[in-house]
Structure 1
Amino acid sequence: MDELELLKKDWQKKGEQLPQLSYKEIYLMLWKRSSSIVKWIFYISIIEFLVPHLLYFLPVMSKSLAIWNDLGLGNYLVFSSVLQYTIVLFFIFQFYKRYKEISVMDNAKQLMKNILKTRKTVKYYVIFCLSLILISFLVMAGGIYLNEDPLSALGNSYDIEQLNPEKLKVTLSLSIVIMGFVVTLVMGFIYFLLYGILLKKLLKNFKELQDIDV
């Protein structure tokens, strides 16, 4: 049981010789806790944005970029990168904006409204990120299927004439699609750990505010 729960129990006690907390004191506790949660959402989004860029220094990333170009998907990669940067930076700004707004809240109704806006923003952000991951895999699968020599594009030197080209393309494409769904599910679980727990705490704060805002 956290400090706020203990204080709430103290606030609700009637007739006992213990200090009683006022509505304002309970609100301030919820406000500080909500502000801290939104701040962490903002920080995590920045870290999530920066960490993948460190991977570009790894050799495997250079090979991955080469595969996209060899599959004729270089233009898509550029477009998706620009789109990703634009929208992710927009969401990071929105998280920062939510944090600044929540830092100057002076009443429970405004705080509840900001909590709902923050939860909605995070949900849209997660949906966008997961959708982009899945779409990228689907586009790669399509690029493999339409490529005349997908094995070479993927960095293999097998003689495609010894294989059934159509069967090979279908097998590779389906493998990429399945991998895409698996990666999306794994990333969804990671996002749940990163943001889901914080959103749950925000929802709890929202319900607490509803209880005291009577």
Structure 2
Amino acid sequence: MTDELDLLKRDWQKKEVDLPKLSYSDIHKMIWKKSSSIVKWILTISILEFLLPQLLYLVPSMQDGLAFYENIGVSNYLLIASIITYIIAIYFIVQFYKRYKEISVLEDARSLMKKIIKTRRTVKHWIIFSLCSMMVSIFIMVIGVFLSDNIAEAFPHLREGLQKISPEKLRMTLMLSIGGFGTFLVIFMGGVYFLLYGLLLRKLHKNYRELKQLEF
């Protein structure tokens, strides 16, 4: 038994000698490259997230949705909210691009750690903004339905059938439907952000911990 253990130890020591020795500089470069790649993914995803909803306006069924907003009197408010959202979204995309350019420059470990912290903070603010903008749009629609004088006019194709339903009941049903769907959408998108951006942030945090160990 002792002979077998000695043989195993000698075999392991032999393998250990053959393993490549990584220097401080090598490890630092590996972490830097991984961090740069992660931030590039964050930038790409944020751009896609901004562009994809715009393509929905090309879908014919979206025109009915725009008509609905017009009929309940919230189209102008949603337009203003959308313009503000676009401006802030573009600001965040520019910030992600800056974070990517900053982190793409190889510097010392302390500087890279600061940039990782800055990037993670920017992503968290982006997530909060995105979810809040959804909630604002939902709130505007619910208020629009509540203040609408004749809610049945918002559904021209179903006008005759809806005349049989009392305006109060129709209004309440529509408000609950919009509120319920909106709540589900915010929770769903929160989950998507948690999985997508959360995965990237966890990887960045791991790189941060490795840099901290390397530096200290």
TM-score category of the 2 structures, normalised to the smaller one: 0.7 to 0.9
Q: Aligned letter for 1:191? A: Y
Q: Is the 8 A contact 1:44 1:194 kept in 2?
A: no
Structure 1 counterpart of 2:171, from 164, 169, 172: 169
Deviation at 1:63, TM superposition (A): 1.2
* Cα distance in 1, alignment partners of residues 202 and 72 from structure 2: 42
Compare CA radii of gyration and give the structure with the larger one.
Answer: 2
Deviation at 1:93, TM superposition (A): 0.2
Deviation at 1:163, TM superposition (A): 2.7
Q: Which runs of 4+ in 1 moved over 6 A?
A: none
Q: Aligned letter for 1:145? A: F
Deviation at 1:151, TM superposition (A): 2.6
- Bigger RCO (CA 8 Å, 6+ sep): 2
Range that drifts further, 168-177 or 202-211: 168-177
Deviation at 1:78, TM superposition (A): 1.4
Q: Is the 8 A contact 1:30 1:209 kept in 2?
A: yes
Q: Is the 8 A contact 2:72 2:145 kept in 1?
A: yes
Structure 1 counterpart of 2:202, from 200, 203, 212: 200
* Cα distance in 1, alignment partners of residues 117 and 26 from structure 2: 22
Task: Specify whether residues 22 and 124 from structure 1 end up closer, same or farther in structure 2 by C-alpha distance, changes over 3 A only.
Answer: same
* Cα distance in 1, alignment partners of residues 98 and 140 from structure 2: 34
* Cα distance in 2, alignment partners of residues 90 and 154 from structure 1: 37
| 2:141 is the alignment partner of 1:140 | yes
Deviation at 1:161, TM superposition (A): 5.3
Q: Is the 8 A contact 2:40 2:100 kept in 1?
A: yes
Deviation at 1:162, TM superposition (A): 3.3
Range that drifts further, 56-65 or 82-91: 56-65
Q: Is the 8 A contact 1:138 1:176 kept in 2?
A: no
Taking structure 1 as the reference length, the TM-score comes to 0.88
Per-residue deviation, residues 144-174 of structure 1 (Å, max 9, x unmatched): 1110121321443146553332232122212
Q: Pairwise CA RMSD of aligned residues?
A: 1.8
Aligned residues: 201
Deviation at 1:62, TM superposition (A): 1.2
* Cα distance in 1, alignment partners of residues 137 and 83 from structure 2: 14
Deviation at 1:54, TM superposition (A): 1.4
Q: Aligned letter for 1:185? A: I
Range that drifts further, 103-112 or 188-197: 188-197
Task: Specify whether residues 49 and 161 from structure 1 end up closer, same or farther in structure 2 by C-alpha distance, changes over 3 A only.
Answer: closer
Amino-acid identity (%): 49
Which residue pairs with 1:181 in the alignment? 183
Per-residue deviation, residues 62-115 of structure 1 (Å, max 9, x unmatched): 111111111111211211111111000000000000000001131111111111
Taking structure 2 as the reference length, the TM-score comes to 0.87
Q: Is the 8 A contact 1:27 1:209 kept in 2?
A: yes
Q: Aligned letter for 1:146? A: L
Q: Aligned letter for 1:87? A: I
Q: Mind listing any 5+ residue stretches in structure 2 that lack a counterpart?
A: 1-12
Q: Is the 8 A contact 2:42 2:200 kept in 1?
A: yes
Range that drifts further, 147-156 or 200-209: 147-156
Q: Is the 8 A contact 2:152 2:167 kept in 1?
A: no
* Cα distance in 2, alignment partners of residues 210 and 76 from structure 1: 48
Per-residue deviation, residues 186-213 of structure 1 (Å, max 9, x unmatched): 1112222321111111011111111111
Deviation at 1:56, TM superposition (A): 1.1
| 2:119 is the alignment partner of 1:128 | no
